[in-house]
Structure 1
Amino acid sequence: MHLPYPPRKASNPAPYLPRSSPLPGLRRTRLKLIALVALAFITLIYLVSRPSNKHADSVQWKPSGKPPVVLVTVLDEKKYGKGYLQTIVENRIQYAEKHGYEAFFAKVGDYDLKGAPASWTAVVAVRHALTKFPDCHYVWYLEQNAFVMNPELKIEDHVMQPSRLEELMKKDFPVVPPDSIIRTFSHVKGQEIDLVITQDKAGLSVGSFIVRNSDWARFFLETWFDPLYRSYNFQKAETHALEHIVQWHPTILAKMAIVDQNIINSYSKGAKGAQYKNGDLVVRFSDCSTAGKAQECETESQPFATKWRKAFANS
């Protein structure tokens, strides 16, 4: 029996390579280690010696509360009469001055909405107010077709105190009525809330809402105003966009509280939501803002204008 021939050696054998010494590799390892230590040391010196930026450092920075609240309203000068808008401006300024707040007014057309409906101006105006008043505690957006009716109620005490929020917030509650499978969290505490809003019979109502000044608030507003959601062409624009992101993003839902309408968003008529009653903070004319009904807003508001002026004069 013959064994097979061994394989033939290559005709061009590899050149002889001398055995490498471990010392060069060891030197390289030590040099790398020294470089990493030096880099870490330089980074530490930079972090310790650099000037502090209180607004960039969300861990250290806390707003001073000057002013405590910024009351934001967007005015549509093309759609509504000058006298009606002046009454709204007067109402906001008187309420803000009484409590040391700031009243911030934006106009439809002030911002480039990239073709989105004008109602999106509200979101940009709130973001603008946070930029202009970086030390405020809260921003309260209240649409133009509304009056502050009770001058005695302060946002800090009436709504935003953590203990007060614990009483007001609806837990394990459908986000979109009547039976949304997405519900507000049951374990969230008052001090964890950064967005306060209400519902009417149709869903979330964005005519009156409050955001706490925080990094989360900026994230929330940027998310809400994302071009993707503006491009969806929702029937109710920013309202349906908000309902969408709240139901799909737990990061936002976890910071949101739904409270009764009568706390910050009573309606002049009860067909679509909770009707205004004496002592409520706000009355909104929710039906008059549809196309072709601008004049009705002024007519409907007149009795309430007389009433809020009397309340403010006596406060």
Structure 2
Amino acid sequence: MKCLFHHFDSEFGGEASKVYYYPDDDESESNELKDSEDSKNPLDIAKKKFKENGKKVFRPSSSSTKSPEIVIVTNVDFEMFELSHLTKIVQNRVNYAHSNKYGVYVRWIQEFTPSLQEFGNDSGWAKLFAMRAAMHAFPNAKYFWYVDQNSLILRNDIDLMSYILKPSSLGPIMLKEQPVLLPYGAIKTYKSVKPEDVSFIITQTTESLNSDSFILRNDVYGRGLLEFWSDPLFRKYPTFVNNVEAALTHLLQWHPVLLSKTSIVPARTICSTHDANGLVLPGQEAYRYHDGDFVVDFKNCGKDFHCETLVDAFYKKMEAAK
């Protein structure tokens, strides 16, 4: 990492570590990139491409090519998972996008290390940085769907637009007067919200909002929610530093305008949670993965069991069904 960012050595609590940061001097950064462009050293070339990832903008190759209406966004972590596992995750998004003519935007979580280190945030916050970058890369897209690297899209035959984004599809499944904080939160989604006015779609687990899969409309409310959610005031607040979903819960509870543009939908629509132990407790059935569901989410699989094993099993099942 030290060759990708500027850094300095720090010692906190008796433990030495490196702190990475983006340079303040844009001109020095520009000169550094220019030097790497002139260099034929493969490391310099790779470094230049890495640093320019967030600056890329989709430009149609011909007049007949249009910007995709929907872009799938995913972060991948090369320090947590093997390359073969990450390849499956990325290919899963590409296969689905190809079947439905959507766009795909994938970033390394490590690209956002300086931003994460700024306030000591965990890697969960990187999804917001990736979504902001995706909106820059595809300015004409209508919707952005974030799907976590611990999830698989299982149904290429489902078109997201007709499945959930059309008002006629979203309206019947919107959970109105649903507590934002389960089970007994005082703040609830509004019963008067119309599906055509929704800019943010998300699901819940039995414990919290589930940011492993959510959809943002590319409008002032969708972009505004993302800016509020990723604001430094939220990222450095002690309760939210390592809990991006707690920050979102607070945001929706205290900003009624944004809540009025939000729809909570049943978990199994876009984020069925897989239970590795096969044990479904009372009240959890509606959140758990069932055969035929659109998306399976192996939430927190890195903490309790192997993500690679689960993904591989589902991936092989999908390949065999083709």
Deviation for aligned residue 1:287:
3.5
Give SS of 1:122's match.
helix
TM-score normalized by structure 1?
Answer: 0.75
d(CA) in 2 for partners of 1:135 and 1:75?
A: 24
In the alignment, what sits opposite 1:278? 291
After superposition, the Cα gap between the structure-2 partners of 1:179 and 1:242, relative to the gap in structure 1 and judged at 3 Å, is same
What's the RMSD between the two structures over aligned residues? 1.7
In the alignment, structure 1 residue 103 sits paired with structure 2 residue 104: yes
In the alignment, what sits opposite 1:257? 263
In the alignment, structure 1 residue 190 sits paired with structure 2 residue 198: no
In the alignment, what sits opposite 1:297? 307
Instruction: Please show how residues 207-286 of structure 1 align to structure 2 within 5 Å.
Output: 207-234=212-239, 236-269=242-275, 270=280, 274-286=287-299
**Which ranges of structure 1 fall in alignment gaps of 5 or more residues?**
1-63
Q: Which one of 299, 306, 310 corresponds to residue 316 of structure 2? A: 306
d(CA) in 2 for partners of 1:152 and 1:278?
A: 15
Instruction: Output one character per residue of 1:106-132: Cα deviation in whole Å (capped at 9) or x when no partner.
Output: 111212322322211101111111110
In the alignment, what sits opposite 2:13? none
Which amino acid letter does the alignment assign opposite residue 91 of structure 1? N
d(CA) in 2 for partners of 1:239 and 1:283?
A: 19
Deviation for aligned residue 1:276:
1.2
Instruction: Please show how residues 76-155 of structure 1 align to structure 2 within 5 Å.
Output: 76-111=77-112, 112-113=114-115, 114-115=118-119, 116-155=121-160
Which amino acid letter does the alignment assign opposite residue 300 of structure 1? L
d(CA) in 1 for partners of 2:125 and 2:66?
A: 27
Deviation for aligned residue 1:135:
1.0
d(CA) in 2 for partners of 1:204 and 1:102?
A: 26
TM-score normalized by structure 2?
Answer: 0.73
Which amino acid letter does the alignment assign opposite residue 275 of structure 1? R
Give SS of 2:186's match.
coil
d(CA) in 2 for partners of 1:283 and 1:229?
A: 29
In the alignment, structure 1 residue 171 sits paired with structure 2 residue 176: yes
Report % sequence identity.
Answer: 33
Which amino acid letter does the alignment assign opposite residue 274 of structure 1? Y
Give SS of 1:286's match.
coil
Which amino acid letter does the alignment assign opposite residue 253 of structure 2? Q
d(CA) in 1 for partners of 2:177 and 2:254?
A: 16
CA contact (8 A) 1:69 1:101 kept: yes
d(CA) in 2 for partners of 1:217 and 1:287?
A: 26
d(CA) in 2 for partners of 1:176 and 1:277?
A: 24
d(CA) in 2 for partners of 1:102 and 1:83?
A: 22
Which amino acid letter does the alignment assign opposite residue 180 of structure 1? G
**Which ranges of structure 2 fall in alignment gaps of 5 or more residues?**
1-64
Which amino acid letter does the alignment assign opposite residue 91 of structure 2? E
Give SS of 2:95's match.
helix
Deviation for aligned residue 1:217:
1.4
In the alignment, what sits opposite 1:38? none
d(CA) in 1 for partners of 2:122 and 2:273?
A: 24
Greater C-alpha Rg? 1
Runs of 4+ in 1 over 4 A off after TM superposition: 270-273
CA contact (8 A) 1:148 1:308 kept: no
Instruction: Output one character per residue of 1:172-223: Cα deviation in whole Å (capped at 9) or x when no partner.
Output: 1111100101000000100000000001011100000001111211111110
Instruction: Output one character per residue of 1:135-191: Cα deviation in whole Å (capped at 9) or x when no partner.
Output: 111100000011100111111011111111111101111111001010000001000
CA contact (8 A) 1:184 1:257 kept: yes
d(CA) in 2 for partners of 1:106 and 1:141?
A: 12
d(CA) in 2 for partners of 1:261 and 1:281?
A: 10
Deviation for aligned residue 1:65:
7.3
d(CA) in 1 for partners of 2:220 and 2:66?
A: 15
